[in-house]
Structure 1
Amino acid sequence: MIDIERLQWYYDNDRVFITAHAAERFRQRGIKVKDIRNAVKTGEIIEQYPEDYPYPSCLLLGLSVNAQPLHVVMSDEGNASRIITAYFPDVDKWESDLKTRKV
């Protein structure tokens, strides 16, 4: 299982990578790298994806720098992490706690 402290350690030690594709999606969604960093620093893991390939990943809920809820999907590659995607949660898809998917 991935833990938030490990993901935070990756950030503190410059071991977080963002693909060009993910960076483009952030721009389209109005998300800045500092928002993602803040979300990881303030966040909690709400879903684990241990079977993801090629590395396990997780979904976390944190806050952007202006305190907007932000979902971030990150991998744990053993000695580094990759940002897979980030988005502002859609209230049509998430319960009011933004941690539980609507059925």
Structure 2
Amino acid sequence: MIEIEKILTYYENDKVFVTAHATERFRQRGIKTKDIRNAVKTGEIIEQYPDDYPYPSCLIIGETVDLKTIHVVMSDEGSSSRIITAYYPSAEKWEDDLKTRRRDK
């Protein structure tokens, strides 16, 4: 199970990496690196993906520097982390708390 403190330690030690694909998606969505860092700093892990390949990952909910709610998916690679994606959660997929996935009825 990934702990938010471990992800924060990776940030402190400059061990968080971003793929070119993720960087392009952030640009398309208007998300800046400082928003992601702030989201992790202010956030909490709301889902764990222990079976993700090649490394376990987790979903973090936090706030951008402009106090907008954002979701960030990050891996735990043992000695570093990778930002897989980040996005603004939509009301169609998430309950009002933006932490709980909507269930199809």
TM-score, normalised to structure 1, is 0.99
**CA deviation profile, 1:7-29 (whole Å, cap 9, x unmatched):** 01101110000000000000000
**CA deviation profile, 1:55-77 (whole Å, cap 9, x unmatched):** 00000100000000000000000
C-alpha distance in 2, partners of 1:49/1:56?
6
What pairs with 1:1-103 in structure 2 (closer than 5 Å)? 1-103=1-103
3-state SS of paired residue (2:55): coil
C-alpha distance in 1, partners of 2:8/2:92?
29
C-alpha distance in 1, partners of 2:12/2:62?
17
TM-score, normalised to structure 2, is 0.97
Name the Cα RMSD after superposition.
0.4
> Quick one: which amino acid aligns to residue 96 of structure 1?
D
C-alpha distance in 1, partners of 2:13/2:96?
34
Task: Calculate percent identity across the aligned residue pairs.
Answer: 72
> Quick one: which amino acid aligns to residue 85 of structure 1?
T
> Quick one: which amino acid aligns to residue 90 of structure 2?
D
3-state SS of paired residue (2:37): helix
> Quick one: which amino acid aligns to residue 42 of structure 1?
T
> 5+ residue gaps in structure 1?
none
3-state SS of paired residue (2:17): strand
Equivalent residue pairs, number? 103
